[in-house]
Structure 1
Amino acid sequence: MDRVAKLVSQKAVVIFSKSSCGMCHAIKRLFYEQGVGPAVYELDEDSRGKEIEWALMRLGCNPAVPAVFVGGRFVGSANTVMTLHLNGTLKRMLRDAGALWL
């Protein structure tokens, strides 16, 4: 849990992902297309990835990836992020966190 807290505090947008996950790819692309450069942690390529995955599940991430944090706070997984994007809330959150300037 401490490692996750440390990682999400280091950048305005953090995405925990797996390189083989289609939804993870879609979420990362969504942020890149918004002009956001998130910190992306590929859990299947990290030696401590399983440990982080368990910590994410304890935080309520189910499934564990993609897990998106904005401004150090857990936003949600793919469904939640897409809903926030479609209703315009995501862009506001990104601005408030300093990830977007427009």
Structure 2
Amino acid sequence: MQGTIYCIRHNLIPSAQSLRPLPLEKQGNGESVRTVVEENAVIVIGRRGCCMCHVLKKLLLGLGVNPAVHEIDEESEDEVMSELEKIGVEGGSETVELPAVYIGGRLFGGLDRVMAAHISGDLVPILKEVGALWL
């Protein structure tokens, strides 16, 4: 199944170029999904137009993190989800729920886990550890 995954890079200073999604041609084996997750310190993956993804993006931008964002189309969702479950999950016991946040190439969790880590004060040190924050 061929599909397109869009990666949107949000900059703190918006420009016309930063608002355009970057199309990444997804191959049948899902390798581009794995590559994008491994190449970004923080990535938010969710369905196109998801309000919870918007909340995650705003939280991370507010902390000073510039996350990559993948919006998944309905027709490619099953294939992308199966590939995401293979990435960064030890023992294969976890399931990926959207929106999903990958930090340092590993599944961190969804909105609830990110918010809990933020409230407890654990999120910023984790983000610094993977190089998403410098200060």
TM-score by length of 2: 0.64
Contact 1:43 1:50 in 2 (8 A): no
Matched, 1:85 2:123: no
Of residues 2, 21, 26, the one that matches 2:55 is 26
RMSD over aligned CA atoms reads 2.1
Q: Deviations over 1:20-79 (max 9, x none)?
A: 21111101111111111111111128x744421333356611x3x110011111100111
For structure 2, list consecutive stretches of 5 or more residues without a partner in the other structure. 1-29, 90-94
Q: Quick one: percent identity of the two aligned structures?
A: 38
The list of structure 1 runs, each at least 4 consecutive aligned residues, that deviate by more than 2 angstroms after superposition, is 1-5, 47-50, 53-59
How far has the Cα of 1:7 moved from its partner? 1.4
1:8 aligns with 2:37: yes
8 Å contact kept, 2:38–2:104 = yes
CA distance in 2, matches of 1:77, 1:53: 14
Structure number with higher relative contact order (C-alpha < 8 Å, ≥ 6 residues apart): 1
**TM-score normalised to structure 1 length:** 0.83
Match status 1:52 vs 2:80: yes
Cα distance in 1 for residues equivalent to 2:31 and 2:115:
27
Structure with the largest fraction of helix: 1
Task: Please list every run of 5 or more consecutive structure 1 residues that lacks an aligned counterpart in the other structure.
Answer: none
Pair 1:38-2:82 in alignment = no
- Partner Cα distance (2:58, 2:64) in 1: 10
Q: Which residue matches 1:70?
A: 103
Aligned residues: 99
